[in-house]
């Protein structure tokens, strides 16, 4: 039981196919108590049955684009638990129109929204939850290879994830003074609610399956297990890092299919 007695706050769980679900499940299986956020009544109806399934301690509302909501979430966690040990940021959003075609056509408003929700929300969560997290705590966020290399149609989300990864490095120094670690998991493409908005996503999945060293796409369970490791004392010396869980795709250069 790697997380026995630990308390984890998880933002961004949308359904039982999301990466956040794989993380929450792995945490629970290793003894952690969990709390889950939801945004609006539609997502509340999805999250609450999952919370019951996983035995979550409580759920709470939060719009990650609003400081007052994040501050209220931190207060709610304090009221229920006093302190927490783990914070999971699985939040990202971009307009569907900005996830197809040319990046150059991204609107100013679309750019601002993608960066705010997908990157700045991590900074805000760390700010408001810093007093709530115990020493030795861990913060995790989710990135993707499109932060470092061009991925067709990923567009403004790639730029937002690049900002997210840079934020992880800067936050590592701020939080490290209180012995709180922060890392990002760069997961391979997965069929999730978030990825469904990316034009041509099915072709990306097929490509990855052919050209990764392991010749497969990863699962939410594999990502969840990596999150479990990073949140546990086993990773006490790791912070400010981007950990790839993509079947090795990020190591690849030019690949030629064997005849």
Catalytic residue of the set 120, 144, 145, 249:
144
Q: Where are the beta strands (DSSP E) in the chain?
A: 7-11, 33-38, 58-61, 84-89, 133-143, 181-187, 242-245
pLDDT in tens, 250-259: 988 777 766 5
The predicted structure's pLDDT at residue 252: 83
pLDDT in tens, 20-68: 999 999 999 999 999 999 999 989 999 999 999 999 999 999 999 999 9
Instruction: Read off the pTM.
Output: 0.93
The predicted structure's pLDDT at residue 211: 81
Please indicate whether residue 154 is annotated as part of the active site: yes
Query: Do the beta carbons of residue 28 and residue 50 sit within 8 Å?
Result: no
Q: Comparing C-alpha atoms, which of 56, 55, 52, 43 is closest to residue 15?
A: 43
**What is the CATH code for 7-244?**
3.40.50.720
Catalytic residue of the set 154, 170, 211, 249:
154
Please indicate whether residue 249 is annotated as part of the active site: no
pLDDT band at 191 (very low <50, low <70, confident <90, very high): low
Which phi-psi region, left, alpha or beta, contains residue 52 (left: φ > 0; alpha: ψ -120 to 50)? alpha
Q: How far apart are CA 179 and CA 184, in angstroms?
A: 17
The predicted structure's pLDDT at residue 254: 75
* Number of Cβ within a 10 Å radius of residue 23: 31
Please report, for the chain, the start and end positions of each structural domain, with discontinuous segments joined by +.
7-244
Query: Do the beta carbons of residue 184 and residue 226 sit within 8 Å?
Result: no
pLDDT in tens, 113-135: 999 999 999 999 999 999 999 99
The predicted structure's pLDDT at residue 91: 97
The predicted structure's pLDDT at residue 216: 87
pLDDT band at 249 (very low <50, low <70, confident <90, very high): confident
The predicted structure's pLDDT at residue 197: 54
Q: How far apart are CA 37 and CA 22, in angstroms?
A: 15
The predicted structure's pLDDT at residue 200: 61
pLDDT in tens, 193-241: 555 555 566 777 777 778 888 888 899 999 999 999 999 999 999 999 9
């Amino acid at each position: 039981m790697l997380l026995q007695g630990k308390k984890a706050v998880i933002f961004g769980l949308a359904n039982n196919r999301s990466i956040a679900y794989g993380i929450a499940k792995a945490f629970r299986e290793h003894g952690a108590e969990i709390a889950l956020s939801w945004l609006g009544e539609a997502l509340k109806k999805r999250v609450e049955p999952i919370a019951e399934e996983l035995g979550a301690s409580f759920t709470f509302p939060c719009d990650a684009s609003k400081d007052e909501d994040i501050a209220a979430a931190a207060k709610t966690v304090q009221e229920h638990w006093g302190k927490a040990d783990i914070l999971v940021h699985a939040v990202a959003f971009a307009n569907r129109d900005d996830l197809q075609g040319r990046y150059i056509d991204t609107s100013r408003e679309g750019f601002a929204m993608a960066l705010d929700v997908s990157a700045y929300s991590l900074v805000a969560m760390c700010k408001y939850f810093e007093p709530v997290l115990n020493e030795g705590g861990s913060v995790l966020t989710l990135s993707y290879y499109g932060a470092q290399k061009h991925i067709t149609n990923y567009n403004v989300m790639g730029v937002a994830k690049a900002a997210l990864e840079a934020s992880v490095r800067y936050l590592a120094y701020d939080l490290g003074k209180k012995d709180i670690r922060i890392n990002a998991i760069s997961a391979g493409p997965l069929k999730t609610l978030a990825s469904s908005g990316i034009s041509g996503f099915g072709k990306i999945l097929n490509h990855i399956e052919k050209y990764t060293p392991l010749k497969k796409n990863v699962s939410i369970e594999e990502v969840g297990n990596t999150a479990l490791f990073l949140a546990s004392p086993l990773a006490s010396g790791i912070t400010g890092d981007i950990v790839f869980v993509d079947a090795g795709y990020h190591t690849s250069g030019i690949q030629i299919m064997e005849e």
